[in-house]
Structure 1
Amino acid sequence: MRMAPYPAQPIKGRARYRVMMDIRKLDAQNWLTIDKNYMDEHRVRGRLLFEKKKQVLQCLPESLEACQETLEEVAHFLCERFANSFEKFRHRNDSWIQNHLTGEKFTLDGQDPQNALEIAVRLTMEDLSILMTNEDGEYYLAASATLFPVGWTVEERIGWTISRLHNPVPLWHQQAANSVSKFLARLTPSSPMERSNYFIEVKRRDENLSDVLYRPSVLCEKELSDPSPSEILIRRERQTFRRLPRTGALVFGVKTYLTALDELPIQELQNLAKEMKSWPEYVSEYKGRDVWGAKVLQYCEKNGLYNQGG
């Protein structure tokens, strides 16, 4: 497969740091994406589900119907959007999906929640989570297959509310919490939305793709103080939000993109340098700037971008 990845949102170069949802209408034709990295990432996903299933996949009992509906929606979408790669079959009361890219075949009916969600993320390139409301009306993580996490694992945080999940994020409660609650409550099956986020990740020279994508602890270990531009990665997430029509639960999808610093377009390098200068000290510490910041600015200076960027 030679399909280029669905375009990641560029770094915008904001001059003032603020926690923002920056929500936009979902490109519904591209809710789920398939690209040239599918097979490499599929192998990583399979290995993680075999070796670290408890850490990456958890489902509370009440998520059963929502997980089953998510699998149905995923299968229907993939067979419609990528008909050459995915095909659905039905015989009497049984239905299944054939993944022509991998040769795998999965039954779609009568799965328990964990199996349903596992099948869904074996088919996709996206991580998928189910958000439901508790008795106080707060959304919480009722089920999740998060194979490519940043600083957490599903095993640790299953059942947590959205508010608690975001406790480590600087200024989130002050600047975004109310907006997020209102946004999630207003979401309807006919109004899916998306947003983007990015982190800076530093890889070791001996790390493979699985090590780079599965980051349950930190993105930037302190001892990696002199990374090369090719070892500094811009890690972007395309986050999608859909209300399931039957159960009313929310499906939160995350597609991860990796771009090495020395492959970043010049305009984005300029914008990255500009945004770095806008971060308060505690935000810089949270983002790991002390590990990679000097190298990024040196690289920008070398390319004549630092003064323009700030």
Structure 2
Amino acid sequence: MTPYPAQPIKGRERYRVMMDVRRLDVQNWLTIDKNYMDEHVIRSQLLAEEKSKVLQCLPESYSACLEALEEVVEFLCQRFPNMFERKKNGDEWTVYNKMTGETFVFGGQSGSHIDPLEVAVRLTMEDLSILMKNADDEYYLSVCASACPWAETKEKRRLTNSRAASASLFPVGWTVQERIGWTISQLHNPVPLWHQQVANSVSKFLARLTPSSPMERSNYFVEVKRPDEDLFEVLYRPTTLSEDNPDPSPEDIVIRRERQTFRRLPRTGTIVFGVKTILTTLDELPMKELENLAKEIRSWPKYVGEYKGREVWGPKALEFCEKKRQQLQETQEKMEV
């Protein structure tokens, strides 16, 4: 199956932080494509070797995580019946992944000891997080490891009461473990102009989201990889967007796109936030998107370019775009002759 089409780079001539949300394509809330097995191997490896960094769930978030899993299983079994199968025995459910041969039991009293959110991300290609409100009416990506020694302060207690969870296996420059108790605003502190231009809109958007009005949006980052990096190292990028590669080729410059989905769960009223990561190297971009990327690169103010790592990959990207444009122009001129 070909990957779900990523939103193209639009080529905005002025940098502005935008929510740019649209109605969710509900038939494709979760996606399965030809990269499923390769990414599944990486997901399994991360959950085996780096679980505390990629998965955190407070005990209080169990009901929301279980509802999220139920929604995931129902969707996958209906949308991809040749790949997933579920059966019910009393109050227990069994889901069978025909591609991997894995079976998970959930619900009831003797279900799987695996966290429901972990089961969900072992089935999907999307990272999933649960967003809940805290006592201050703010949405938190508030997560906690059992080994995390919470300080007994009013502020810390308020954070633990946010009751949320996250399974983010393919993060960019951060880990779940590092961002325990962070609000949506705190998560976006490093983003230039985020607070000035969209913070209030994001709060209103999340508050107004209903089970019947799921939404989605897209964004992208540019990262640099080393020539010898494998898929695991490119997808799991918890520290930085740019590896030690001062002279990257077009094949080493990666456009990392995220399709982000937002669904309000009907029973618990929480929000399940999904992120599907799509990787495209610079040399794989069509000419129109290359031109749009170059336009956006040039439009960024200096501080935005520094945040995005433009000094590392920007000159090479602009050089490649101009070279490809000239080659295309020469080819067209020859055809006209």
- Output the TM-score relative to the length of structure 1: 0.95
CA contact (8 A) 1:64 1:113 kept: no
Q: 1:40 maps to what in 2?
A: 38
Q: 1:164 maps to what in 2?
A: 186
Identity of aligned residues (%): 71
CA contact (8 A) 2:85 2:97 kept: yes
Relative to structure 1, the CA distance from residue 114 to residue 20 in structure 2 (aligned partners, 3 Å threshold; closer, same or farther) is farther
Q: 2:271 maps to what in 1?
A: 250
C-alpha displacement of 1:249: 0.4
Alpha-carbon distance between aligned partners in 2 of 1:10 and 1:162, rounded to the nearest angstrom: 26
CA contact (8 A) 2:7 2:218 kept: yes
> Please, which moves more after superposition, 140-149 or 87-96?
87-96
| Aligned pair partner of 2:231 in 195, 209, 215 | 209
Q: 2:136 maps to what in 1?
A: 136
Runs of 4+ off more than 6 Å: none
Q: 1:241 maps to what in 2?
A: 262
> Please, which moves more after superposition, 47-56 or 82-91?
82-91
Q: 1:267 maps to what in 2?
A: 288
1:1-310 matches, within 5 Å, as 3-110=1-108, 115-141=115-141, 142-221=164-243, 223-304=244-325
> Please, which moves more after superposition, 55-64 or 251-260?
55-64
CA contact (8 A) 2:6 2:257 kept: yes
Alpha-carbon distance between aligned partners in 1 of 2:70 and 2:8, rounded to the nearest angstrom: 32
Identify unmatched segments of 5+ residues in structure 2. Answer: 142-163, 330-337
CA contact (8 A) 1:59 1:113 kept: no
How many corresponding residue pairs?
304
- Output the TM-score relative to the length of structure 2: 0.88
CA contact (8 A) 1:144 1:158 kept: no
Identify unmatched segments of 5+ residues in structure 1. Answer: none
C-alpha displacement of 1:160: 1.1
- Secondary structure of the residue aligned to 2:103 is strand
CA contact (8 A) 1:270 1:305 kept: no
Larger radius of gyration: 2
> Please, which moves more after superposition, 211-220 or 108-117?
108-117
CA contact (8 A) 1:163 1:173 kept: yes
CA contact (8 A) 1:125 1:255 kept: yes
- Secondary structure of the residue aligned to 2:275 is strand
Q: Provide, for residues 88-127 of structure 1, a one-character-per-residue CA deviation record: whole Å limited to 9, x for no partner.
A: 0112332110000111000121468961000000000000
Q: Provide, for residues 17-67 of structure 1, a one-character-per-residue CA deviation record: whole Å limited to 9, x for no partner.
A: 000000000000000000000000000000000000000000122211100
Relative to structure 1, the CA distance from residue 124 to residue 247 in structure 2 (aligned partners, 3 Å threshold; closer, same or farther) is same
CA contact (8 A) 2:104 2:112 kept: no
> Please, which moves more after superposition, 167-176 or 107-116?
107-116
> Please, which moves more after superposition, 290-299 or 154-163?
154-163
- Root-mean-square deviation (CA, aligned residues, Å) is 1.5
Alpha-carbon distance between aligned partners in 2 of 1:71 and 1:41, rounded to the nearest angstrom: 19
- Secondary structure of the residue aligned to 1:118 is helix
Alpha-carbon distance between aligned partners in 1 of 2:213 and 2:22, rounded to the nearest angstrom: 10
Q: Which amino acid aligns with 1:169?
A: V
Alpha-carbon distance between aligned partners in 2 of 1:21 and 1:81, rounded to the nearest angstrom: 28
Alpha-carbon distance between aligned partners in 1 of 2:171 and 2:34, rounded to the nearest angstrom: 21
CA contact (8 A) 1:65 1:113 kept: no
Alpha-carbon distance between aligned partners in 1 of 2:307 and 2:88, rounded to the nearest angstrom: 50
Alpha-carbon distance between aligned partners in 2 of 1:271 and 1:5, rounded to the nearest angstrom: 22
C-alpha displacement of 1:208: 1.0
